[in-house]
Amino acid sequence: MENKKGNIYLIPCTLGETPPLEVLPLLVKKAIENIDHYIVEHEKSARRFIKSVASKKQQNSLHVEEINKFTKPKEIPQMLEPCFNGFDVGIISDAGCPGIADPGAAVVEQAHQKGIKVVPLVGPSSILLALMASGFNGQNFAFNGYLPIDKVERKQKIKQLEKKSIVENQSQLFIETPYRNNQMLESLVKTLQNTTGICVACDITLSTQYIRTAPVKQWKRIKVDLHKRPAIFIIQG
C-alpha cells in the first residue's frame, strides 16, 4: 500500500492591510495552523501573513521556498518532496489567489503530474471581485493580464479588446503596473468609443476601495487618481 501523500493547498491572502478573517474563511486559518511547508512568492511577506492569521505559529518551524517568474521547472520537484513524506504544502502569493495573475501554476502543474492532490481555498481575487462589481457580462469574460507598453501596440490592443467585447459579447479584463494606472485610464478614454463601458476597480477590499462603471463619454468628466493603487480595468462595448 502506498504511503499517504500530503496535499498542495492553494492559500489566498489579503489584498492589503485588512483584518485577515474579514476576507478569508476559517479553512484558510485552519490550513495555516496545520501546515509547516510553504512555497511562496516572497518569504518575508508570506511569513508576515502567516503570523497575522495564526499568531501562535512558531516561525522557526516553517520551511519556506520561494517561487517567481524566474523559477525553472526543474527546481520545482524538490519543493514538492514534503508531500511524498506525508506533509501538506501551502502555496501563498503576495496578494490574492496563487496561480491567478500570480505565481503558483507551475507548481500545481507538476503536482498533478505526480498525483498529488490539489486543494484550492477560498479568498479574495481582485479580478473576480472587480468583475462581480462591474455589472458587466459575467457569463462570458476574459482576463488578459498586462497590455503592451509600447503606445502604438497598446492602442491597437485596446481597440482589439473593444471589438472582441462587442463581437463575442465577452467582458475584457486587464491590469497595469500601478504607477501607470492614470495613463492607462487616459488611453482607454481616448481610444475607445463613447458608448463603450469602462469599469475601474481599485484598492479592492481596502477602506479606500473605489469601483465605478460608466460609459467612456462620462469618464471624460470623472476625476480620480489611480496612481500606485492596485487596479483592475474592464471594458465592454
Contacts with a copy of itself, residue ranges (CB under 8 A): 10, 21-27, 97-102, 104-112, 117-120, 122-125, 127-145, 170, 204-205, 209, 211-214
Q: Which CB, 55 or 60, lies closer to a copy of itself?
A: 55
Q: Which CB, 55 or 58, lies closer to a copy of itself?
A: 55
Instruction: Tell me the closest approach of the beta carbon of residue 46 to a copy of itself, in angstroms.
Output: 17
Q: Which CB, 134 or 181, lies closer to a copy of itself?
A: 134
Instruction: Tell me the closest approach of the beta carbon of residue 60 to a copy of itself, in angstroms.
Output: 29
Q: Which CB, 20 or 57, lies closer to a copy of itself?
A: 20
Find, among 202, 180, 229, 219, the residue nearest to 133 by Cα: 202
Q: Which CB, 56 or 69, lies closer to a copy of itself?
A: 69
CA distance 24 to 92: 13
Instruction: Tell me the closest approach of the beta carbon of residue 59 to a copy of itself, in angstroms.
Output: 24
Instruction: Tell me the closest approach of the beta carbon of residue 155 to a copy of itself, in angstroms.
Output: 19
CB 137 within 8 A of CB 169: yes
Instruction: Tell me the closest approach of the beta carbon of residue 57 to a copy of itself, in angstroms.
Output: 20
Other residues' Cβ atoms within 10 Å of the Cβ of residue 81: 12
Q: Which CB, 16 or 135, lies closer to a copy of itself?
A: 135
Classify residue 50 as exposed, middle or buried by CB count within 10 Å of its CB (0-12, 13-18, 19+).
buried
Dihedral in degrees, nearest 10, Cα atoms 172, 178, 180, 185: 40
CA distance 212 to 79: 42
3-state secondary structure of 186: helix
Cell of 82: 514534503
Instruction: Tell me the closest approach of the beta carbon of residue 175 to a copy of itself, in angstroms.
Output: 10
Residue 109, phi then psi, degrees to nearest 5: -55, -50
